[in-house]
């Protein structure tokens, strides 16, 4: 009959052999295998394998079994073999469970690492989305402010003369009850009568064509100029006429166009740029202090642009005067300006450089423009010294 033929409960086995396990060094009665230890203590002296205390592998167990010295009696070998198979089966089961648990632990660790990476990625995604949302909110707010400012600057549409005539010639039009609205629909107006009236006002068909062309030309020039200052007259009590001037600000698109037209080129020297602005008409472009603060990007000079943006509390300046004043504040004297003029090869180049010098003189001497300054002895010496060789005999010494 095999040793494992009769089944016992754990409580029965513990009571029977628990006391014997107390006498074995290193074993306690509360140990789960104390009953097995007490039974083996009857058969042989306890043997301890230190190699199997911390770690159990098939190779270590094989070495431990080979170290056991048995007598070659068949009965002893058979009994030892039965006990060995019993413990080998139990050991294999425990070893397989250990390997399975280790694999599950590694799998769980990998899953935890993957979840941590996903959590970190989701956190970065959420932070990026929140940041982008804040940026979009700021852009929408700025756009809403710009739209509101643009709407506040829009003027009511002025009706044309044709619409006014179409309104006042209606039979049912009463100025006392008129709500000051003019319909855009002029389909009911007799355009032939309007043409005849315009021709009669211009003095006939032949002379009217020329006059009409002059009127269209004048209208086109006025639309291009679009003056900022307009005169307005209205009647007051007593039959007197009161004159007033209406001044409007530049729109954002007009300021951008002015900046684009007068902007300094990346490698353009300072006084060459100021001369180009003078020739383009920058002295006739007047801006308010608020508008001037928006024109800091007109120059590529960083320090000059900073000075221009910080010029607050000033009255209305011409663009040319504003820039000249900024240059004078940045460079108190002409010697401080790092600007030099090299040799010239043609008369046009010499004239251009002389006008640039005149522009520099206009900044620091308050003269009116680059063309009214005197030609000093120093300028004359520079002009002769930088002349091309083939023109040197032309100069009187």
Tell me the pairing of strands 241-247 and 229-235. antiparallel
C-alpha 63: how far from chain center? 72
| pLDDT tens track for 248-297 | 677 788 888 888 888 888 888 888 888 888 888 888 888 777 777 777 77
Q: Which residues, 6 or more positions from 104, have their beta carbon under 8 angstroms from its beta carbon? A: none
Q: Is residue 240 part of a domain?
A: no
Q: Is residue 365 part of a domain?
A: yes
Predicted local distance difference test score (pLDDT) of residue 201: 42
- Give the global pTM: 0.39
Q: 38 and 18 in contact (C-beta within 8 Å)?
A: yes
Q: Which residue among 78, 113, 148 closes a domain?
A: 113
Range of the domain at 77: 10-113
Distance CA 369, CA 113 (A): 76
Q: Which residue among 64, 96, 113 closes a domain?
A: 113
Q: Is 338 left (phi over 0), alpha (psi -120 to 50) or beta?
A: beta
Predicted local distance difference test score (pLDDT) of residue 314: 52
Q: Is residue 96 part of a domain?
A: yes
Predicted local distance difference test score (pLDDT) of residue 109: 93
Residue 287's nearest CA partner among 321, 253, 257 is 321
Q: 358 and 371 in contact (C-beta within 8 Å)?
A: yes
Q: Is residue 170 part of a domain?
A: no
Q: Is residue 107 part of a domain?
A: yes
Q: Is residue 277 part of a domain?
A: yes
Q: 369 and 377 in contact (C-beta within 8 Å)?
A: no
Q: Is 238 left (phi over 0), alpha (psi -120 to 50) or beta?
A: left
Domains in the chain: how many in total?
Answer: 2
| pLDDT tens track for 206-247 | 443 444 344 344 333 333 333 444 445 555 555 566 555 455
Q: Which residue among 82, 113, 144 closes a domain?
A: 113
Predicted local distance difference test score (pLDDT) of residue 303: 81
Distance CA 325, CA 316 (A): 13
Q: Is residue 380 part of a domain?
A: yes
Predicted local distance difference test score (pLDDT) of residue 369: 79
Q: Is residue 139 part of a domain?
A: no
C-alpha 1: how far from chain center? 88
Q: 173 and 167 in contact (C-beta within 8 Å)?
A: yes
User: Which two tokens mark 347?
Assistant: 């008369």
| Residue written as token pair 């740029």 | 273
Spans of the chain, pLDDT less than 50: 1-6, 186-231, 245, 397
């Amino acid at each position: 009959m095999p040793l494992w033929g009769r089944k016992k409960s754990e409580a029965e086995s513990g009571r029977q052999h628990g006391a014997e396990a107390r006498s074995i060094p290193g074993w306690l009665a509360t140990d789960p295998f104390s009953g097995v230890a007490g039974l083996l203590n009857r058969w042989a002296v306890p043997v301890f394998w230190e190699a199997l205390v911390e770690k159990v592998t098939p190779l270590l167990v094989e070495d431990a079994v080979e170290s056991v010295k048995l007598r070659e009696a068949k009965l002893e070998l058979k009994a030892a073999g039965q006990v060995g198979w019993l413990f080998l089966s139990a050991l294999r089961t425990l070893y397989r469970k250990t390997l399975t648990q280790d694999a599950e632990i590694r799998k769980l660790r990998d899953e935890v690492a993957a979840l941590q990476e996903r959590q970190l990625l989701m956190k970065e995604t959420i932070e990026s989305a929140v940041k982008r949302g804040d940026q979009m909110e700021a852009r929408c707010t700025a756009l809403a402010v710009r739209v509101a400012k643009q709407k506040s600057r829009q003027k009511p549409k002025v009706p044309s003369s044709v619409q006014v005539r179409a309104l006042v010639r209606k039979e049912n039009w009463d100025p006392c009850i008129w709500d000051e609205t003019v319909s855009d629909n002029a389909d009911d107006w007799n355009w032939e009568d309007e043409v005849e009236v315009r021709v009669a006002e211009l003095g006939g068909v032949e002379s009217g064509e020329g006059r009409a062309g002059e009127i269209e030309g004048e209208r086109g020039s006025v639309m291009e100029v679009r003056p900022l200052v307009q005169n307005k007259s209205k009647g007051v009590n007593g039959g007197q006429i009161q004159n007033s001037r209406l001044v409007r600000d530049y729109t954002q698109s007009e300021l951008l166009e002015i900046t684009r037209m007068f902007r300094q080129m990346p490698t353009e020297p300072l006084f060459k740029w100021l001369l180009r602005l003078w020739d383009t008409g920058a002295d006739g472009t007047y801006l308010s202090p608020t508008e001037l603060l928006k024109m800091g990007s007109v120059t590529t000079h960083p320090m000059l642009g900073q000075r221009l943006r910080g010029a607050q509390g000033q009255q209305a300046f011409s663009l040319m005067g504003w820039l000249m004043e900024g240059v004078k504040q940045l460079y108190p004297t002409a010697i401080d300006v790092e600007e030099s003029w090299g040799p010239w090869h043609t008369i046009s180049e010499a004239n251009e450089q002389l006008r640039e010098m005149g522009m520099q003189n206009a900044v620091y001497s308050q003269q009116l423009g680059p063309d009214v300054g005197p030609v000093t002895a120093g300028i004359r010496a520079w002009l002769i010294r930088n002349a091309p060789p083939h023109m040197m005999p032309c100069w009187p010494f």
